[in-house]
């Protein structure tokens, strides 16, 4: 069950360091192409960048880091690239889990995992299990994930658990749906980052990004390191998160009137 505050129902607390950072890791292919390397070289380099950002986030006190690794639309890529991405994912899981475990990081893999080969599904379950007790930071990797998939699967799960709601849909509210979302273990992202220059959401966390601060950088993912992360955090610190209120209300928070 989720006990995280909803940004549309209450005004969340916000500190200088984002509690939850969600990243679309884009630009691996172009990083490689500009170096006359095959796209796969960019994906390999991208795995190294993940390692560095995980470490940097832990050091800065981030509690939740969520990374978009493979979208429900990425199956449209050439079969060779898709199978290479799967292989990289398998190798990364095999190699990194011990380190995550030792560093106190809880790993979650979120998405429609039924599409993956059985060996990968087993690896995922084991990796989650082996890190489940960790509390320093939660690293969520979104694989075969789509924001629309999540809202639809949550709706189905909600109606299965509560068939009475189907008979009276006017009673359905956010708090009925939220506990069934794939990201229910995390609060909503404070900061969203997309590397690679595109300014779009590409079916990432559609529900949870409602009030996230958005940050876009031209840096390709393999070039995104701790210095780039600090630039994003600096931008985040300068934002005024109003959640629907006026600036004056943010300056002197008082009782919130209802709608």
Residue 30 contacts ligand IPE per CB under 6 A: yes
d(CA 73, CA 117): 18
Pick 39 or 106: Cβ nearer ligand IPE: 39
Return the axis-axis angle of helices 79-102 and 118-131, rounded to nearest 10°: 20
Contact between 14 and 240 (Cβ < 8 Å): no
Question: Which member of 49, 50, 85, 137 binds ligand IPE (CB under 6 A)?
Answer: 85
Please enumerate in sequence order all residues whose Cβ is within 8 A of that of 135, keeping only pairs 6 or more positions apart, or say none.
104, 106
Question: Which member of 125, 171, 200, 239 binds ligand IPE (CB under 6 A)?
Answer: 200
Residue 222 contacts ligand IPE per CB under 6 A: no
Pick 178 or 193: Cβ nearer ligand IPE: 193
Question: Which member of 26, 150, 213, 228 binds Mg ion (CB under 5 A)?
Answer: 26
Residue 71 contacts ligand IPE per CB under 6 A: yes
Q: Which does 71 bind (CB under 5 to 8 A by kind): ligand IPE, Mg ion, none?
A: ligand IPE
Residue 146 contacts ligand IPE per CB under 6 A: no
Question: Which member of 19, 20, 26, 182 binds ligand IPE (CB under 6 A)?
Answer: 26
245 three-class SS? coil
Count residues binding Mg ion (CB under 5 A).
Answer: 1
Nearest-5° Cα angle at 190, 146 to 23 = 45
Closest CA to 73 of 43, 105, 112, 109: 112
Stretch that binds Mg ion, among 22-30, 69-77, 181-189, 241-249 (CB under 5 A): 22-30
Pick 207 or 221: Cβ nearer ligand IPE: 221
Strands (E), the chain: 20-24, 64-71, 105-110, 137-145, 191-194, 213-216
What are the C-alpha distances in Å from 64 to residues 23, 174, 219? 11, 22, 22
d(CA 37, CA 40): 8
Contact between 112 and 171 (Cβ < 8 Å): no
Pick 70 or 178: Cβ nearer ligand IPE: 70
Q: Which does 70 bind (CB under 5 to 8 A by kind): Mg ion, ligand IPE, none?
A: ligand IPE
Length of the chain: 259
Q: How far is the CB of 81 from Mg ion (least distance, A)?
A: 11
Q: How far is the CB of 196 from Mg ion (least distance, A)?
A: 6
- 74 part of the active site: yes
List active site positions: 26, 74
């Amino acid at each position: 069950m989720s006990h995280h505050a909803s940004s549309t129902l209450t005004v969340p607390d916000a500190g200088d360091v984002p509690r939850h950072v969600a990243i679309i890791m884009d630009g691996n292919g172009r990083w490689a192409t500009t170096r006359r390397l095959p796209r796969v070289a960019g994906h390999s380099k991208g795995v190294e960048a993940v390692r560095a950002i995980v470490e940097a986030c832990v050091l800065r006190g981030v509690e939740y880091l969520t990374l978009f690794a493979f979208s429900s639309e990425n199956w449209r890529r050439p079969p060779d690239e898709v199978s290479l991405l799967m292989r990289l994912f398998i190798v990364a899981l095999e190699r990194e889990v011990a380190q995550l475990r030792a560093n106190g990081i809880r790993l979650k893999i979120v998405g429609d995992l039924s599409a993956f080969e059985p060996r990968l599904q087993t690896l995922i379950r084991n990796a989650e299990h082996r890190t489940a007790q960790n509390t320093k930071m939660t690293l969520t990797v979104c694989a075969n994930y789509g924001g629309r998939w999540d809202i639809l699967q949550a709706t189905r799960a909600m109606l299965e658990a509560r068939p009475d709601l189907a008979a009276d849909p006017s009673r359905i509210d956010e708090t009925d749906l939220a506990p069934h979302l794939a990201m229910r273990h995390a609060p909503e992202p404070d900061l969203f980052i997309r590397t690679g220059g595109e300014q779009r959401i590409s079916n990432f966390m559609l529900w949870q990004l409602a009030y996230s601060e958005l940050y876009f950088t031209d840096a390709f993912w393999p070039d995104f390191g701790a210095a780039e992360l600090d630039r994003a955090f600096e931008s985040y610190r300068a934002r005024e998160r109003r959640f629907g209120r006026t600036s004056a209300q943010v300056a002197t928070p008082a009782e919130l009137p209802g709608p």
